[in-house]
Amino acid sequence: MQLNTIKPASGAKHAKRRVGRGIGSGIGKTAGRGHKGQKSRAGGYHKVGFEGGQMPLQRRLPKRGFKSLTLRFNAEIRLTDLERLTATDIDVLTLKQAGLVPELVRAVKVIAAGKLTRKIALSGIAVTVGAKAAIEAAGGTVA
């Protein structure tokens, strides 16, 4: 291979379409733009979703739903998750180290799902009424 014999792959390069260059070219006169109207003019076009003045679809449909931005900072854990932990004094840091809640979490709430048979002490963690009753019934405390 020499530098003077290098060529691009076949089909990689093609000539620019020259529009409006006479009747014989096949794309003369209106240059493939049709007759009249906004789309035939130079610089005449519209933004995405524009429907010619009709109320666009994204504005005709009702707004629905809501996604809380603080949701990623909250987490729930079950009583069965607490049962599996070896620690007796449990706080948010303990749960993060055990991998039960993500690192971003700031607030944790215990929900009454499953059973708790051993004594644990919670601090800095919210609990539901049912979960509090189950923890206290097992001899634990909630602070």
Per-residue pLDDT tens for 41-72?
999 888 999 998 999 999 999 999 999 999 99
- Identify the pLDDT of residue 59: 96
- Identify the pLDDT of residue 44: 86
- Identify the pLDDT of residue 3: 96
Mean pLDDT of the chain: 94
Residue 1 has pLDDT above 90, yes or no: no
Domain 71-142 has CATH 3.20.20.370: no
Classified as helix, coil or strand, 4 is: helix
Q: Which amino acid is at 86?
A: T
Instruction: Report yes or no: 27 and 17 within 8 Å, Cβ to Cβ.
Output: yes
Q: Which two tokens stand for residue 21?
A: 């260059």
Residue 82 and residue 88: Cα distance in Å, rounded?
9
Could you report the per-residue pLDDT of 71-122, keeping only the tens digit for each? 999 999 999 999 999 999 999 999 999 999 999 999 999 999 999 999 999 9
- Residue of 53, 45, 58, 95 whose CA lies nearest to 74: 95
Residue 142 has pLDDT above 90, yes or no: yes
- Identify the pLDDT of residue 20: 93
Q: Which amino acid is at 133?
A: A
Instruction: Report yes or no: 121 and 89 within 8 Å, Cβ to Cβ.
Output: yes
Where do the domains of the chain lie? 71-142
Residue 116 and residue 75: Cα distance in Å, rounded?
19
Give the strand pairing for 89-90 and 121-122: parallel
Q: Which two tokens stand for residue 71?
A: 């949701």
Instruction: Report yes or no: 135 and 115 within 8 Å, Cβ to Cβ.
Output: no
Instruction: Report yes or no: 5 and 16 within 8 Å, Cβ to Cβ.
Output: no
